[in-house]
Amino acid sequence: MSLDSRRNFLRSIGAFALAPLSRTEPEMVLYNAGVLTMDPQQPRAQAVAISGGRFLAVGTNDEIRPLATARTRSVDLEGKTVVPGFIDAHCHVASSGRRHLREVDCDLRSIAEIQAALLKRASETPRGSWVLGFKYDDTKTAEGRRLTRQDLDAAAPDHPVFVEHRGGHTAYVNSLAIRIAEVDEKVPDPPGGKFDRDSSGRLTGGLRERATGPFRKAIPSRYTRDDCREGVKLISRMMTRTGVTSVHDAYGSPEDLRAYQDAREAGELGLRVYCLIGFMHIDRLISAGVRTGLGDEWVRVGPMKMTCDGSISERTARLSQPYIGRPDDYGILVMDEPELYRYGRQAHEAGWQIGIHANGDVAIDLVLRLYERLQRELPRRDPRFRIEHCTLINDSILGRMRALGVIPTPFSTYVYYHGEKMREYGAERLHSMFALRSFLDAGIRPTQASDYPPGPFEPMMALQSEVTRTDTKGNLWGPRQRITVEEAIRVGTLHGAYASFEENQKGSITEGKLADLVVLGRDPLAGSRQASPSTQ
């Protein structure tokens, strides 16, 4: 059984998801496998029996094969490796699915290619209507520079253009978009944002953080309910074929919850979803009595989500020391302490889990101060506070996180995929970034998190990045934070389940848990540190 067939496999057992586990006749038996269970009580096995969408039994071939009956589907895996289904604990699922359907994918290797793609879309779009792009990355283009309004004017002068960076925290617009958004050349930078300007003070078209606000408001709503469902269907297919079985949607809305439900009812939802809800939606959900945990094993309400600082891939994270080569640039704080406290207290008091985006050490300190204050004022047992990304840490941060039981969701594919950006942080600082080794040694449970679209979501790339700490060109970044392959699998499975209060339901191949699994071509624990995570 290959990764590509995993979605069909889930369908074959999904119909039994509500059947009683007490049934002793398995619908499926997988045998002759190397099963890496992630269950400390039984780390290895050869076979599993599945009934009612759950693991009925886990053990040796001799223990499991006799459970099969004439009605059981038995599959000889011929020595292939089985691991729990991977959990991507921070990715933008519903929104990226919609965007793949309707926007220009600007993940291209030159500005000329991006211009050509935008021009093509403009030729298919009524004059004066918006042309939207996403997944643009300045460091992936041959020119190695940021887009300008002149670049976008040349591509589509008669259409307002808005191209979002892959990281999601910056965007680039053309002159017509600037006019439509009613932003003039003397506009001041908003709190938590910045308009890029040239040496003469003229707007270049670059927008950072909350400076994108006037443009997002000017773009008319462009997705129907069917679009939203189709987007979920598309992204489900994209992610499940790589071995992802569960996701934590990192910035969802009530409309996204509806899209997941619509896709589920149509038989198109191949992922289990834990949906973080943006803070701007929290009032109406609290008023309706909704809080973290509402839902079932397929769609569940997750934490309230806020954003404290900027982006690692776009180099806007708020740091205590400046970026390399930019002595006056420390990054951006998007939300200040009073705003974080206002929404944080409201959610905490209403029984919500909280997840706050914080990349830089300054932002992480601010978030920890909030969590410490909330527990002093309104102590709760096991709130499982989350710090989304939690990229740049120090010993003080580690100690405070451990004391609070905070869960970090560091980028899992960034070192490998975004190596060219690491130079702006410096080799020494990289020893304290994406700090899986430090987290594990401190007794903290980090997760695997792609943040897709900012980072690729392939779990095998995550293992490559976390285990080797090398980028696509072989450069080594922060090797003291390397972890083992087995640790990386646990981070990507059981720890992800813990982050959503579901460690008793999934995350390991254990009798009674949901039968989410991935079949790999060979054992990722075999071979050298460099080769093993590349298993397909």
Q: What is the pLDDT of residues 60-113, one digit of tens each?
A: 999 999 999 999 999 999 999 999 999 999 999 999 999 999 999 999 999 999
Strands (E), 199-260: 203-209, 244-252
Cβ pair 279, 177 in contact under 8 A: no
Q: Which two tokens stand for residue 451?
A: 């943040």
How confident is the model at residue 529, as a pLDDT?
53
Under DSSP, the state recorded for 76 is E
- The residues, any chain, with a CB within 8 Å of residue 70's CB and separated by 6 or more, are none
Instruction: For the chain, report the end-to-end CA distance as a whole number of angstroms.
Output: 12
How confident is the model at residue 18, as a pLDDT?
35
Homologous superfamily (CATH) for 1-85+507-536 = Urease, subunit C, domain 1 (2.30.40.10)
How confident is the model at residue 527, as a pLDDT?
62
Q: What is the pLDDT of residues 288-340, one digit of tens each?
A: 999 999 999 999 999 999 999 999 999 999 999 999 999 999 999 999 999 99
| CA–CA gap between residue 421 and residue 392 (Å, rounded) | 15
Distances (CA, A) of 2 to 78, 211, 241, 498, 521: 12, 45, 9, 27, 7
Q: What is the pLDDT of residues 359-374, one digit of tens each?
A: 999 999 999 999 999 9
Please indicate, yes or no, whether the overall pTM of this predicted structure exceeds 0.85. Answer: yes
Q: Which helix (H) or strand (E) holds 463?
A: helix 459-468
Q: Is the pLDDT of residue 4 over 80?
A: no
| CA–CA gap between residue 440 and residue 186 (Å, rounded) | 49
Please determine whether the domains at 96-218 and 278-291+301-506 fall in the same fold group of CATH: no
Which residue has better confidence, 13 or 259?
A: 259
In terms of DSSP H, where are the helices of 126-219? Answer: 149-155, 175-180, 213-218
DSSP assignment of 369-389 equals: HHHHHHHHHS--S----EEEE
Domain positions in the chain = 1-85+507-536, 96-218, 278-291+301-506
| Beta-sheet pairing, 203-209 with 170-173 | antiparallel
| CA–CA gap between residue 3 and residue 9 (Å, rounded) | 10
How confident is the model at residue 350, as a pLDDT?
98
Topology of the domain covering 278-291+301-506: TIM Barrel (3.20.20)
The residue to which tokens 């601010």 are assigned: 366
**14: confidence class by pLDDT, cuts 50, 70, 90:** very low
- The residues, any chain, with a CB within 8 Å of residue 166's CB and separated by 6 or more, are 107, 134, 135, 136, 137, 313, 453, 454
- The residues, any chain, with a CB within 8 Å of residue 498's CB and separated by 6 or more, are 384, 407, 445, 507
Query: What letter represents residue 198's amino acid?
Result: D
| CA–CA gap between residue 438 and residue 394 (Å, rounded) | 9
Under DSSP, the state recorded for 78 is T
Tell me what percent of the residues of the chain surpass a pLDDT of 90. Answer: 92
| 358-368-445 Cα angle (round to 5) | 75
How confident is the model at residue 170, as a pLDDT?
97
Pick the CATH number of 96-218 from 3.30.1450.10, 1.10.8.60, 3.10.310.70, 1.10.10.10: 3.10.310.70
